[in-house]
Amino acid sequence: MQIHKKKMRLSAVLLVLALGATACGGNGTDSDDSSAEGPSGGTFSYTITNPENPLVPGNTSESEGTQVIQALFTGLVTYDVETSKLEMEGVAESVESEDSTLWTVKLKEGWTFHDGTPVDAESFVNAWNYTALSTNAQGGSSFFSNIEGYDDLQAETDDNDVVTKPPSAEEMSGLEVVDPQTFTVKLTAPFTQFPLTLGYNPFYPLPKAFFADPEAFGKKPIGNGPFQAEEEFRQDVGFTMTRFDDYAGDKAKADAVDIKVIPDVNTAYIEVQAGNLDILDTVPPEVIATAPAEFGDRFIERSSSTFTYMGFPTYDPRYDDKKVRQAFSMAIDRAAITKAIFNDTRDPAFSAISPVVDGSRPDACEYCKYDPAAAKALLAETDFDTSQPIDLWFNAGAGHDAWVTAVGNQLRENLGVTYVLKGDLTFSQYLKEVGRQKKFTGPFRLGWGMDYPSPQNYLEPLYTESALPPGSNTAFYVNPAFDAKVQEGNEAEDNDDAIELYQEAEDILLEDMPIMPMFFGKLQSVHSEKVSNVAFDAFGRADLANVTVNQ
């Protein structure tokens, strides 16, 4: 998932002053658990910034559009809001396979789209084929790459991104509609975690109305979720969603949600203070110290799936010894940085798999423990030249300056090596023109947010050989033993075995240390007195359907 939160952060030192900065601790979670059954009625407002794309699930991967898509659509499976565990509260009755390759999906009866048409096997298969086909230019296309026949739906391209051969098919051979309530999915390789991936946006169904007019659909989607679009979505303004009374799952509690687009997070925060806005999923860094005291239990904090790490250019002779990389990692006091730089709005990372997914171990990373003496000793064993400065890379304008500087200072202090900050490239230059061209000359910052709650999602797309650029394996890490362990995990008999195998893969990764884990994200949110039962999942999405309006 793409972490692209574009809230403009205008400097607001002043705001802090005006609010009377009384720094207080306090860690509130929403304690009101009286989740009454049935609709509570009422209308509340929720804010997002502008979605980057039209509201089509297969083309929405960024956080803002996802918030709306989540309320308008329900996928085959769902995840528990608190624990991210797989739940069968979605459209699928069952997702089963004998060999983890050929999967049979059975749908529940009675699900309809907002226009009354049934949610059937075709609405999934057609949607998946549409999203996968490269000429439709949908961002979610690559999520179908493990389905048989996907390659036939992809145009062949040369190095300059020019099409050399158009797609040879429009439907994946691995998808087959058996009857209106059943379809089968044939994967190219066994993958036990497949059902777990199905709750992500690109796997949502699309009604016939979409294919008739995709453009109109993108403004006013017709989904199958607990809320329906009442009007066209307007950029920089928003729209109203109302409860879908024929929803086959647990119906939404409130009558309607006003989605308000407020790109400036400080403005949105003031609107919540004034009671004009009910839920805000971000708290401006300038007021993070005062918000818990001001909002009490209306301030919510939870861990999110985002993961920040620093990769090493393993192709650079200077960093090709894993002892060098281990020494760097041990020389960094992550907890000190999260406290001093982030005000504890992030957690230090001691594993490569986020704590929000099953199978994460709090101390998986041996070399992430802060031990400056051991770090220095380990570095001395290598032929690393400490007289040369190290380059620390990050992308510009995204607030990374402070913590990367702190990392540099710790390396200087603990390893006796000076550093140079390389932080003036935009994200696209940084990734495409430097990262993918093997031009990083030192540790570089990267981030990740999960697509589905599986440890596999924190390993395979990031460090395997198949993920080499243009994939996300920018460290150019290749270790067949690691790849094999991940694959074994993918083919494991059951989830417990899979988790064990993924953990073994993680151990290999953290021993080789092509990347050093830095932080895991947290989400802070505030809401008005008008609403209760506000909860966020690990993806950072508000559970809008369960929000109740206090009458």
Q: Which residues within the stretch 255-284 sit at the binding site for other proteins (CB under 8 A)?
A: 260-264, 266-267, 270-271, 273-274, 276
Question: Of the two residues 352 and 375, which places its CB atom closer to other proteins in the complex?
Answer: 352
Q: Give whichever of 324 and 450 is closer to other proteins, judged by the CB atom.
A: 450
For residues 173 and 92, give the distance between their C-alpha atoms in angstroms, rounded to a whole number. Answer: 21
Residues facing 256 on adjacent strands:
43, 242
User: Residue 481 Cβ, how far from other proteins at the closest point, in Å?
Assistant: 25
Smallest gap from Cβ 402 to other proteins, in A, equals 21
Q: Kindly state the smallest distance separating residue 171's Cβ from other proteins, in Å.
A: 15
DSSP 12-46: -HHHHHHT-----------------SS----EEEE
Rounded to 5 degrees, what angle do the CA atoms 454, 460, 464 make? 165
Residues 27 to 46 in contact with other proteins, rule: CB under 8 A: none
Region label for 464, one of left (φ > 0), alpha (ψ between -120 and 50) or beta (otherwise): beta
Stretch of residues binding other proteins (CB under 8 A), selected from 149-157, 372-380, 398-406, 437-445: 149-157
Return the number of the residue (203 or 244) whose C-beta is nearest other proteins.
203
Question: For other proteins, which stretch binds (CB under 8 A), given 82-90, 93-101, 340-348, 422-430?
Answer: 422-430
CA distances from 84 to 177, 349, 521, 545, 549 (A): 29, 19, 15, 17, 25
Shortest distance in whole angstroms from residue 51 CB to other proteins:
8
Closest distance to other proteins from the beta carbon of 173 (Å): 17
The least distance separating other proteins from the CB of residue 268, rounded to whole angstroms, comes to: 8
Q: Which two tokens stand for residue 104?
A: 């049979």
Distance separating alpha carbons of residues 495 and 96, to the nearest angstrom? 13
Token pair, residue 423, equals 């932080």
Tokens coding 53: 């794309």
Q: How far is the CB of 163 from other proteins (least distance, A)?
A: 5
SS3 string, 211-266, reads HHCHHHHHHCCCCCCCEEECCCCECCCEEEEEECCCCCCCCCCCCEEEEEECCEHH
CB of 410 to other proteins, least distance (A): 25
Q: Which residues of 166-204 are buried (b: 16+ CB within 10 A; e: fewer)?
A: ebeeebbebbbeeeebbbbbbbeeebbbbbbbbbbbbbb
CB-wise, 33 or 159, nearer to other proteins? Answer: 159
**String marking each residue 117-146 x if it binds other proteins according to CB under 8 A:** -----------------xxxxxx-xx--x-
Cβ-Cβ contacts under 8 Å for 531 (sequence gap 6 or more)? 44, 278, 279, 547, 548, 549, 550
Closest distance to other proteins from the beta carbon of 545 (Å): 25
493: left (phi over 0), alpha (psi -120 to 50) or beta: alpha
Q: Per CB under 8 A, does 426 bind other proteins? A: yes
Q: Are strands 390-395 and 419-425 parallel, antiparallel or unpaired?
A: parallel
- 226 binds other proteins, rule: CB under 8 A: no
Residues numbered 193-222 forming contacts with other proteins, rule: CB under 8 A: 215, 218
Mask 449-488, x = binds other proteins (CB under 8 A)? x-x---------x-------xxxx----------------
Angle at the Cα of 171 (from 167 to 173), degrees rounded to 5?
A: 105
First to last CA, the chain: 37
Write the single-letter amino acid at 204.
Y
Q: Is residue 432 involved in binding other proteins (CB under 8 A)?
A: yes
Least gap, CB of 179 to other proteins (angstroms): 31
Count of residues that bind other proteins according to CB under 8 A: 74
366 lines the binding site for other proteins (CB under 8 A): no
Q: Please choose, out of 117-125, 232-240, 244-252, 514-522, the segment that lies near other proteins by the rule CB under 8 A.
A: 232-240
167 counts as binding other proteins under rule CB under 8 A:
yes
Residue 427 is a binding residue for other proteins (CB under 8 A): yes
Assess 156 for contact with other proteins (CB under 8 A): yes
Site for other proteins in 46-75 (CB under 8 A): 50, 52-54, 61-62
Number of Cβ atoms within 10 Å of the Cβ of 157: 12
Measured from the CB atom, is 120 or 271 closer to other proteins?
A: 271
Question: What angle, rounded to 10 degrees, do the helices at 372-381 and 401-415 form?
Answer: 70
Q: In the set 236, 363, 383, 385, which binds other proteins (CB under 8 A)?
A: 236
429 binds other proteins (CB under 8 A): yes
By CB under 8 A, residue 400 contacts other proteins: no
CA–CA dist 316, 347 (Å, integer): 30
Q: Indicate which single residue of 24, 237, 335, 340 sits in contact with other proteins (rule: CB under 8 A).
A: 237
Enumerate residues 275-334 that contact other proteins by CB under 8 A.
276
From 208, 234, 369, 438, residue interacting with other proteins (rule: CB under 8 A): 234
Peptide bond into 443 cis (omega under 30): no
Contact between 173 and other proteins (CB under 8 A)? no
